[in-house]
Structure 1
Amino acid sequence: MHRSTVCRLLILCGVLASTWANAACVDPALLARSTASIVQNYDERERDAHPGIIGVQGTGWFLSPTIMVTAEHVATAMKLSTTVWKPLEIAAGDGSELIGARIQRRVGGTPEKLAVIELQRAASDARSVAIRKEPLVPEEQVMTLAYPAGSSRPVGGRFVRFGEEGKLAGMVLLEMYEGENRLVIDHGASGAPVVDCNGRVAAVITNVLSQSLKLASREIRFSTAWGMPNVVSVPVQVLEEVK
């Protein structure tokens, strides 16, 4: 059995080419307690309705010990309510805990919004992270934490540009990778914070850009070409009104 994940895919043609230097500019230890894998585990009725799936996984980060932020479509997939507390498994650092959660508000414009989640009690050892007020500039280094196989992994990259049209208008377009792996930011990364070299959150991941190729009985996924954006995120400045 597996957990379904909610980092939706957009299709963009690209071919792997030359590599770019990639180094994290922030000590990952500083983010260890500020970012968490969040899981809404299905109850028996929900498991019967979704055979083989035990829950929904995403990523969130702490605006305060009792307030988390994630991508709005993560909260929607988890069917979080604005009124009813629902158990949420929060895994940060070396431990995890179940805490009641509900949506405090949704912020931002279209096509993507952020969900501000209220926790019924403070998360253990949660570390709040600051919001960056000014926009990123081209080629600026950034970093995030991914949760492949449930364990945190720092991933570096750079800000490329802001989207200009269609569904990408106003979105923060990034190139993120780990060595030759351009798909390290993938399913389950929605809601992860993108931090600058001062440790401030500048954007929140919502989508990845990729293409798929079917060969015989299997499907192969490719990222975009080297030098091109492969991660889409929401500017964090929409959260300024929340604090």
Structure 2
Amino acid sequence: MRGRFGRGVLVLFVLFANTQAVPAACVDPIQLAHSAVSIVRHFDDAERDSHRGYVGVRGTGWFLSPTTIVTAEHVTAGMNLSSHDWKPLEIVDGDNSQVIAARIQRVAGSQAEKLAVIELQHAVSDARSVAVRRDPLVPEEQVMTFAYPTGSLRLVQGRFVRFGDGGKVAGMALLEMYEGENRLVVDHGASGAPVIDCNGRVAAVISNVFTQSFQWGHREIRISTAWGMPNVVSVPIQVLDELQAAN
């Protein structure tokens, strides 16, 4: 029987977009090569039994340093990573793949959606660290994000709409991201993908999406939000600074 990859505790997103042209005023995506990676945790036999036959969990992350990767906290939870035990983590960068022992260095954020910093046992030689933005996003500001569906780097553009003002999205950076008419381009597998501003700085990290599902005959159909409305939830990167200040 073929193995299945899990989608995580909340949702692990995947980008199915084709690479899009970036406005001339923004950073060239080539400058961000080797900064975002696909991260995969392959379960052992005991873990597969407890995860209904899933062979592992896949997400997206980006390099804070050559030995640290930032992703959404529910990705590391779905991977069964801990702050104590080192566990093998596959890191995929384009056509290159390597397995490095990893554990959780710290978790940041006080809301339901959090960030996790993964510590690697040794550095990734060609990793490119991304600058972190210190000031919050401004409404209508243009952003882009990267993720790895099936090992291929994809780029999707969008805009920052507003910060959430209540419930589970309070304080979250709400985005509208799409490719052409496709508003579900950010979907299963992209959790942990960096949200990058026009200056090439990480401003937030993708964590969830807004969708609705309904049955049409024997099919389940998922739809996104209306045009002009946010469809992607992301965690502001400033929560990393808040954690450091608290410590």
**TM-score after normalising by structure 2:** 0.89
State the partner residue of 1:40: 41
SS of equivalent residue, structure 1 residue 181: coil
Q: 1:3-152 residue pairs with structure 2 within 5 A?
A: 3-6=5-8, 8=10, 24=22, 25-152=26-153
Distance 1:8 1:222 in 2: 18
| C-alpha separation in 1, matches of 2:176 and 2:9 | 16
Is 148-157 or 226-235 further displaced after alignment?
148-157
CA apart distance, 1:51: 4.6
Does structure 1 conserve the Cα–Cα contact (< 8 Å) formed by 2:212 and 2:224? yes
Shift of 1:180: 1.4
| One-letter identity of the residue aligned with 1:156 | Q
- In the alignment, which residue of structure 2 is the partner of 1:2? 4
Summarize deviations over 1:1-55 as a string: whole Å, max 9, x none: 321123836xxxxxxxxxxxx8533322222201011010011222233354210
Preserved contact between residue 7 and residue 188 of structure 1 (Cα < 8 Å):
no
Contact conserved, 1:7 with 1:207, CA < 8 A, in 2?
Answer: no
AA in 2 matched with 1:41: H
Q: Unaligned 5+ residue runs, structure 2?
A: 12-19
Counterpart for residue 222 of structure 1: 223
Give per-residue Cα distances to partners, 1:176-213, cap 9 Å, x unaligned. Answer: 11111111111111111100000000001110111111
Q: Is 1:166 equivalent to 2:182 in the alignment?
A: no
Deviations 1:156-189 (A, max 9, x none): 0000000001111100000011111111111111
**Cα deviations by residue, 1:68-100 (Å, 9 ceiling, x for unpaired):** 111111111111111110000011132111000
Q: For residue 47 of structure 2, give the secondary structure of its aligned residue in structure 1.
A: helix
Query: Match for residue 15 of structure 1?
Result: none
Is the CA contact 1:8–1:208 (under 8 Å) kept in the aligned structure 2? no
Residue in 2 that maps onto 1:18:
none
The 2-side partners of 1:202 and 1:128 are apart by 14
Letter in 1 for 2:234: S
- Cα pair 1:7 1:187 within 8 Å, conserved: no
Distance 1:200 1:215 in 2: 42
**Counterpart Cα distance in 2 of 1:160 and 1:39:** 31
The verdict on how the C-alpha distance between 1:6 and 1:29 changes in structure 2, with shifts beyond 3 A counting, is farther
Q: Is the 8 A contact 1:26 1:143 kept in 2?
A: no
**Counterpart Cα distance in 2 of 1:37 and 1:7:** 18
Cα distance between partner residues in 2 of 1:206 and 1:128: 20
Number of residue equivalences: 231
Q: Secondary structure at the match of 1:8?
A: coil
Partner of 1:17: none
2-structure distance, mates of 1:184, 1:26: 22
Q: Secondary structure at the match of 1:132?
A: coil
Instruction: Report the CA distance shift for 1:148/1:199 in structure 2 as closer, same or farther (over 3 A).
Output: same
Paired position in structure 2 for 1:185? 186
Q: Following TM superposition, by how much is the alpha carbon of 1:110 offset from its aligned partner in structure 2, in angstroms?
A: 1.2
Q: Does structure 1 retain, via aligned residues, the 8 Å contact 2:163–2:171?
A: yes
Residue by residue over 1:215-241, the C-alpha shift from the partner in whole angstroms, topping out at 9 and shown as x without a partner, is 111101111111110000010011125
Determine helix, strand or coil for the equivalent of 1:164.
coil
- 8 Å contact kept, 2:84–2:103: yes
1:199-218 alignment, distance < 5 Å: 199-218=200-219
